[in-house]
Amino acid sequence: MPEPQVAVSAVTLVKEYGSGDSTVRALDGVDVQIRQGQYTAIMGPSGSGKSTLLHCLAALDTPTSGEVRFGGDTFARLSDNKLTRLRRERIGFVFQSFNLVPTLTAEENILLPLAMAGRKPDGRWFDQIVESVGLADRLQHRPAQLSGGQQQRVACARALITRPDVIFADEPTGNLDSTASGQVLALLRQAVDEFGQTVVMVTHDAAAAAFTDRILFLSDGRIVDEMSQPTAATVLERMKGLDAGFGQSVVVATDRSERAGV
Ligand SMILES: Nc1ncnc2c1ncn2[C@@H]1O[C@H](COP(=O)(O)OP(=O)(O)OP(=O)(O)O)[C@@H](O)[C@H]1O
């Protein structure tokens, strides 16, 4: 079988905040390859560098040293204009706080990345996405008229509309109840399985991580472990063994097989 392609990779990534005595080393030499068509979770105790790693991989933040390679491009070698275009056209984002534009309808929010890129929507793809997020009857609603779960599903549709190379999700279920979380996680899973998307997600939640194909465990800015084909039970077990800091953020939940029907 051919080797899976790498969508994005980090090479000896270091990120420091501040200077002098107050320097914080948020990433301490991270090397990682994210394969195309995989759903990857980044886990670790609070302050271990999860969001910093996600932001560097997504070109939302610049590393202090090391580099990020995205497809054939190296971020540091791209001009600001090219980087902006790459972020707009080849990367999808889903944030904990949804980040929808309050004055736009759900439909306008979903189509916004295309409008900003001056691209015409592909009607069939739009319909397919709207069907999979289950929002056909909510398209003319504004974010304030939608539940948190519905808003996050709009955000997922917005991330998918450009068919990006990678979708980066930072705690996408952090503000949702368990039913809405399950729907968003199943939706991201479907994006990988049916649309061939690549998804990278930061999460504290073992049950959320159990939806993914692979987990990277961070501690003190380094990748200290990883796991393939996780279940909630094996994730919880691994978290217990890795670091006491995990204990504060573990969300005890059911197994993936039980959640799959959500
Ligand atoms: N803008 C910043 N300025 C200074 N320090 C920062 C900044 N952003 C993050 N840090 C520090 O870098 C380290 C890693 O932060 P990061 O947000 O990546 O961790 P995290 O694992 O995502 O944490 P959490 O689970 O609490 O969100 C922390 O010590 C944090 O305080």
pLDDT, tens only, 179-208 = 999 999 999 999 999 999 999 999 999 999
Residue 249 has pLDDT above 60, yes or no: no
- Higher-confidence residue of 206 and 251: namely 206
Ligand 1 atom nearest to CA at 48 = 21
When mean pLDDT is compared across 36-45, 106-115, 220-229, 245-254, the lowest value belongs to: 245-254
Burial of 246 (0-12, 13-18, 19+ CB in 10 A): buried
Sheet containing strand 6-17, edge to edge, reads 24-35, 6-17, 65-70, 73-74
- Output the CA 47–ligand 1 centroid distance in Å: 5
- Residue 135 confidence (pLDDT): 93
Expressed in percent and rounded to 5, the helix, strand and coil fractions of the chain are 40, 25, 35
Pairing of strands 24-35, 39-43: unpaired
Instruction: Quote ipTM for the complex.
Output: 0.97
Burial of 175 (0-12, 13-18, 19+ CB in 10 A): middle
Percent of the chain residues past pLDDT 70, beyond the cut: 91
Report the distance separating Cα 255 and Cα 82, nearest Å.
Answer: 42
Domains of the chain are 37-49+79-259 (3.40.50.300)
Which H or E run includes 116? helix 106-117
Ligand 1 atom nearest to CA at 27 = 14
pLDDT tier for residue 240 given thresholds of 50, 70 and 90 = confident
CA-nearest residue, atom 14 of ligand 1: 49
Ligand 1 atom nearest to CA at 171 = 27
Residue 250 has pLDDT above 60, yes or no: no
Residue 248 has pLDDT above 60, yes or no: no
pLDDT tier for residue 47 given thresholds of 50, 70 and 90 = very high
Burial of 156 (0-12, 13-18, 19+ CB in 10 A): buried
Q: Which residues line ligand 1 (CB under 6 A)?
A: 17-18, 24, 26, 44, 46-52
pLDDT tier for residue 244 given thresholds of 50, 70 and 90 = low
Report the distance separating Cα 154 and Cα 80, nearest Å.
Answer: 28
Nearest partner of 212 among 186, 238, 179, judged by Cα: 186
Whole-model pTM: value is: 0.91
pLDDT tier for residue 260 given thresholds of 50, 70 and 90 = very low
- Output the CA 258–ligand 1 centroid distance in Å: 33
Q: In testing the pocket of ligand 1, which one of 22, 27, 28, 48 has its CB within 8 Å of the most ligand atoms? A: 48
Nearest partner of 71 among 53, 89, 95, judged by Cα: 89
- Output the CA 136–ligand 1 centroid distance in Å: 38
Nearest partner of 252 among 217, 205, 220, 209, judged by Cα: 205
Ligand 1 atom nearest to CA at 249 = 25
Give whole-number Cα distances, 180 to 117, 147, 148, 255, in Å: 30, 9, 8, 17
- Output the CA 242–ligand 1 centroid distance in Å: 19
CA-nearest residue, atom 7 of ligand 1: 17
Say if residues 156 and 106 touch (Cβ distance below 8 Å). Answer: no
Which H or E run includes 257? helix 256-259
